[in-house]
Amino acid sequence: MMIAWATVVLAAANLLSTRLAVVGVRLSAGMSAAKVVGREVGAVLGPALVAGLVPSVALLGYSLVWAGGYRWASIVTISAVHVLIQVSAVIAASALIGLGVQGLSIGRIVTGKRPVALLAGLAVIAVVGTTIIASAGATQAVERSKDRQLERQAESYRAAHPDLVFTYTTYAVVSDDAERVNAGLADTYRQAESTDGALFTDVTGAAEVGGFEEKHRPTAMVANTAFLDSLDAADVGLRHGVEEATRPAGGVALLIPSHRSGERAEIMSRTHEWLSFEASLRDPADRVTPQLTVLDDVDLGVVPRLDYNNSSETSASGSSMYLVDPVMVVTDARGGLFEDHFYAGRGVFFDRDSLVSLLDRNGVSGAADIESVADASELYRVNREADYRAVIIGVVVVVVVLAMSLLILSASYLLRNRTAIFLQWTTGRSYLGIHWHYLTLTICLVVVPAAAYLLTTDLGLATSAGIVCVGGALALVAVTTALLLLGRQERREALVIS
């Protein structure tokens, strides 16, 4: 929002400064200052409002005529915000230009005197600001690109099991009959798992075990043995060890990846504390004591998540439907550790018809709807791709704004140094000989803020250096182009004056 406002301020200030000669003529003709300012603001604001409102009006018309008024209130609100940004930015630009020419006589204004230092200052602020925002966008784009590659690995697992379905609960779980419904849904899962007809993955409870990485990404998962057996990375020895650990009542296998071996004692302590708490929630007659077996240095690579029915996790900022080398708590429902609520409405089932039959048998068919994992995975993929494209478009827009800011900065530089540049040009100095100080300065204005921001991220030295080099190259191209195009006009005017 701030970058949009600052961009409009810079553009409006530059446009208003080009009309100062008209302002001087009107003032010299006796027109009042208030009337002149009003006309100039209107001359700039009118086209800006039209350009901003035409798309909004078209979108609102489409919503009202063809989409049944879909989100018309949001469209109106966004349009109002755009109007506020443009009006306030043009007024701010007008005030800045007024301050910039406050000490100038009408004669100097009429002859084309512009507040070059003011424009240059605004342009520098815009260059630094857009560079930081572009760096942030590029960082996000790189992270999303890496995320897409890992997501594809997780999607390959789900694609290999196209018939998987899951349940999500309706209002019944918060009704007066919630206890019976939870028990019925939990029994449905337990019965399906006992015949190898269900998988289980969950990251909500496991957050107590593994904690979260930056951006709230979970690092631990609760799963059943059937899910672990379905992973290609789980070898025969691992499967046998987990089977032995989970066979007795309360049996749990805790898999710790090699990169977290230094946290072994802490992870074990948190896991035992969490399992003991979960076990305490059961009726005293049904409680069992957790029997924890630790398996060290278990690296499973990309592990897909199947818990689409946990909407709070799958929609969380930064959350992904996979984990990389997670801490994994493996236990089956037969172990008896968890109460009904833990399994109610969770789990993934291999056969839709069998699931429907179990729901009917347990009297909870009206409390849960069934959805395909493949459909949920595809919807999630489409949303992630749309999000990725939005990031790329945002970076492109910011780069365009950066180029515009560099153009205005270059124009201010040429105006301020017109005579010196012309004299050096007439003596035969090369392009680099004339402008190398300015080129160095502008590249530093882009490279230094970008590098400073990227040092605060965890992208890695090579990736960060690549982004900085690309930013510096784009700045060099933009400034060189601006100097070549604007420099010809400045030399032509200088020749005419001479």
Q: Are residues 126 and 53 in the same domain?
A: no
Categorize the per-residue pLDDT at 236 as very low, low, confident or very high, splitting at 50, 70 and 90: very high
CA–CA distance, 389 with 223 (Å, rounded to integer): 33
**Average pLDDT of the residues in 454-481:** 91
Asked whether the predicted pLDDT for residue 258 surpasses 70, the reply is: yes
**Average pLDDT of the residues in 478-490:** 80
**Which of 165-174, 322-331, 408-417 is predicted with the least confidence, judged by mean pLDDT?**
165-174
For residue 136, being part of any structural domain is answered with yes
Q: Are residues 214 and 340 in the same domain?
A: yes
For residue 30, being part of any structural domain is answered with yes
Cβ–Cβ < 8 Å for 114, 20: yes
Q: Are residues 260 and 202 in the same domain?
A: yes
Question: What pLDDT is recorded for position 213?
Answer: 55
CA–CA distance, 127 with 407 (Å, rounded to integer): 10
CA–CA distance, 130 with 126 (Å, rounded to integer): 6
CA–CA distance, 220 with 52 (Å, rounded to integer): 47
Cβ–Cβ < 8 Å for 302, 322: yes
- Identify the CA nearest to 166 among candidates 371, 466, 429, 363: 371
Asked whether the predicted pLDDT for residue 312 surpasses 70, the reply is: no
- Identify the CA nearest to 207 among candidates 301, 274, 128, 109: 274
Please give the radius of gyration of the chain, using alpha carbons only, rounded to the nearest integer. 32
Element (H or E) spanning 256, and its range? strand 251-256
DSSP state of 212: B
What rounded mean pLDDT belongs to the chain?
Answer: 85
**Average pLDDT of the residues in 224-233:** 93
Q: Are residues 394 and 300 in the same domain?
A: no
Query: What burial class does residue 30 get, using C-beta atoms within 10 Å of its C-beta: 0-12 exposed, 13-18 middle, 19+ buried?
Result: exposed
Q: Write the pLDDT tens digit of every residue in 440-456.
A: 999 999 999 999 999 99
Structure-block tokens of residue 307: 């818990």
Q: Are residues 122 and 2 in the same domain?
A: no
Question: What pLDDT is recorded for position 318?
Answer: 45
Residues 6+ apart with CB under 8 A from 188: 167, 355, 358, 359, 362, 364
Categorize the per-residue pLDDT at 488 as very low, low, confident or very high, splitting at 50, 70 and 90: low
**Which of 50-54, 84-88, 223-227 is predicted with the least confidence, judged by mean pLDDT?**
50-54
Categorize the per-residue pLDDT at 138 as very low, low, confident or very high, splitting at 50, 70 and 90: very high
Q: Write the pLDDT tens digit of every residue in 169-201.
A: 765 555 567 788 888 888 999 999 999 899 999
Buried b (16+ CB within 10 A) or exposed e, 173-201: beeeebebbbbbbbbbbbbbbeeebbbbb
**Average pLDDT of the residues in 299-313:** 79
- Identify the CA nearest to 255 among candidates 294, 300, 304: 294
Final residue of a domain: which of 78, 95, 110? 110
Structure-block tokens of residue 66: 């063809």
- Identify the CA nearest to 328 among candidates 200, 189, 197: 200
Q: Are residues 340 and 486 in the same domain?
A: no
Q: Are residues 298 and 434 in the same domain?
A: no
Q: Are residues 316 and 400 in the same domain?
A: no
Q: Are residues 200 and 326 in the same domain?
A: yes
**Average pLDDT of the residues in 373-393:** 88
For residue 147, being part of any structural domain is answered with yes
Asked whether the predicted pLDDT for residue 14 surpasses 70, the reply is: yes
**Which of 90-99, 312-321, 379-388 is predicted with the least confidence, judged by mean pLDDT?**
312-321
Model pTM?
Answer: 0.76
Categorize the per-residue pLDDT at 35 as very low, low, confident or very high, splitting at 50, 70 and 90: confident
**Which of 24-28, 133-137, 474-478 is predicted with the least confidence, judged by mean pLDDT?**
24-28
Higher pLDDT, 465 or 494: 465
Residues 6+ apart with CB under 8 A from 275: 252, 290, 292, 329, 337
For residue 238, being part of any structural domain is answered with yes
Question: What pLDDT is recorded for position 212?
Answer: 54
Categorize the per-residue pLDDT at 276 as very low, low, confident or very high, splitting at 50, 70 and 90: very high
Asked whether the predicted pLDDT for residue 139 surpasses 80, the reply is: yes
DSSP state of 115: -
For residue 279, being part of any structural domain is answered with yes
DSSP for 325-350 reads S-EEEE--GGG--S-HHHHTT--EES
Q: Write the pLDDT tens digit of every residue in 43-71.
A: 888 887 887 788 888 888 888 888 788 88
Q: Are residues 293 and 168 in the same domain?
A: yes
For residue 365, being part of any structural domain is answered with no
Question: What pLDDT is recorded for position 310?
Answer: 64
Final residue of a domain: which of 312, 334, 350? 350
Residues 6+ apart with CB under 8 A from 470: 138
For residue 361, being part of any structural domain is answered with no
Say which residue the tokens 């007008």 belong to: 94
- At CA 457, angle to CA 454 and CA 461, rounded to 5? 65
Question: What pLDDT is recorded for position 173?
Answer: 52
Q: Are residues 315 and 383 in the same domain?
A: no
The number of folded domains in the chain is 3
Asked whether the predicted pLDDT for residue 316 surpasses 50, the reply is: no
**Average pLDDT of the residues in 258-281:** 91
Question: What pLDDT is recorded for position 428?
Answer: 80
Query: Could you give phi then psi for residue 371, rounded to 5 degrees?
Result: -135, 150
CA–CA distance, 157 with 232 (Å, rounded to integer): 9
Highest mean pLDDT among 60-69, 355-364, 417-426: 355-364
- At CA 447, angle to CA 444 and CA 453, rounded to 5? 130
Structural domain containing residue 52: 1-110
Question: What pLDDT is recorded for position 468?
Answer: 94
Question: What pLDDT is recorded for position 216?
Answer: 58
**Average pLDDT of the residues in 302-307:** 91
Q: Are residues 261 and 399 in the same domain?
A: no
For residue 357, being part of any structural domain is answered with no
Would the CA dihedral through 265, 267, 270, 275 be positive or negative?
Answer: negative
Final residue of a domain: which of 333, 350, 367? 350
- At CA 196, angle to CA 156 and CA 373, rounded to 5? 35
Higher pLDDT, 7 or 411: 411
Asked whether the predicted pLDDT for residue 148 surpasses 60, the reply is: yes
Question: What pLDDT is recorded for position 360?
Answer: 92
